[in-house]
């Protein structure tokens, strides 16, 4: 069974994913894998350079700030970038999934509903948190401004629009409660398998 784990920027998807991993659930982090593929896949690298120019890379490393500044300020460019990267990540995920032996696997990915790929998943978990808390988390984690965080938020659906689309919702405001909810969702998913 394939479970999607989604939520807006700063909602705490990675924290929730770690709690699932602690319960023995294999988790595929799409953002990390995308960055790795963008560095290691010659085909992907070529397509990104064609789209964004040579400045998308500093030697063999991704120029994340340059890429973010370009795509998060231009919805059409963001869409083109996603159409290059997402298929590569999907293929990599499917290969990874075949090697797993658990009752279910989780794919942690931010834009399930925005990209209208919810039908790919058997179940979807939505991680939510208040916007002010999400902004603070991103400011602490990334070297970007409040304006840049808000630009990224604008490119994502509001939690209120996603609530009725998800099978499970985890409010990631309090870590103790979050961990408790993860255990409940895990039990429910194992019953479903």
Question: pLDDT (tens digit, 9 = 90+) per residue, 103-144?
Answer: 999 999 988 998 899 999 999 999 999 999 999 999 999 888
What single-letter DSSP state applies at residue 58?
Answer: E
Give the pLDDT score at 153.
87
Do residues 13 and 179 lie in contact, with contact meaning Cβ atoms separated by under 8 Å? no
Which pLDDT value is given to residue 115? Answer: 87
Overall pTM surpassing 0.85 (yes/no): yes
pLDDT of residue 174: 96
Closest CA to 33 of 81, 72, 85: 85
Sketch the domain layout of the chain as residue ranges. 1-26+104-193, 33-99
At 65, list the tokens: 């700030």
Burial of residue 142 (CB within 10 Å: 0-12, 13-18, 19+) is: middle
> Would you state the pLDDT for residue 80?
95
Q: What is the predicted pLDDT for the residue at 128?
A: 97
Do 107 and 48 meet the contact criterion of CB atoms below 8 Å apart?
no
Per residue of the chain (193 residues), what is the pLDDT tens digit? 999 999 999 999 999 999 999 999 999 999 999 999 999 999 999 999 999 999 999 988 999 889 988 998 888 999 899 999 999 999 999 999 999 999 999 999 988 998 899 999 999 999 999 999 999 999 999 888 898 898 888 878 999 999 999 999 999 999 999 999 999 999 999 998 8
What is residue 151's predicted lDDT score, i.e. its pLDDT?
Answer: 85
Phi, psi of 66, rounded to the nearest 5 degrees: -60, -45
Per-residue confidence (pLDDT) for residue 140, from 0 to 100:
92
What is the residue-averaged pLDDT of the chain? 94
Least Cα distance to 52 among 28, 68, 30 occurs for 68
CATH number of 1-26+104-193: 3.40.50.300
Number of helices and strands (H, E) in the chain?
Answer: 9, 7
Q: Are 20 and 106 in contact (CB under 8 A)?
A: yes
Gap between the Cα atoms of 75 and 61, Å rounded = 24
């Amino acid at each position: 069974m394939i479970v999607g784990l989604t939520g807006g920027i700063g909602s705490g998807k990675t924290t929730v994913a770690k709690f699932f991993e602690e319960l023995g659930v294999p988790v595929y982090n799409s953002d990390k894998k995308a960055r790795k593929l963008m560095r290691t896949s010659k085909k992907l690298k070529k397509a990104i350079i064609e789209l964004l120019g040579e400045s998308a890379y500093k030697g063999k490393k991704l120029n994340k700030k340059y890429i973010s500044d370009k795509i998060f300020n231009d919805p059409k460019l963001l869409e083109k970038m996603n159409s290059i990267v997402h298929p590569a990540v999907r293929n990599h995920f499917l290969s990874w999934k075949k090697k797993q032996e658990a009752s279910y696997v989780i794919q942690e990915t931010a834009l399930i509903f925005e990209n209208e790929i919810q039908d790919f998943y058997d179940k979807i978990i939505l991680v939510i948190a208040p916007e002010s808390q999400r902004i603070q988390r991103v400011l602490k984690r990334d070297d970007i401004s409040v304006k840049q965080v808000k630009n990224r938020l604008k490119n994502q659906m509001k939690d209120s629009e996603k609530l009725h689309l998800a099978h499970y919702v985890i409010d990631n405001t309090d870590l103790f409660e979050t961990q408790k909810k993860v255990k409940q969702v895990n039990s429910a998913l194992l019953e479903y398998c």
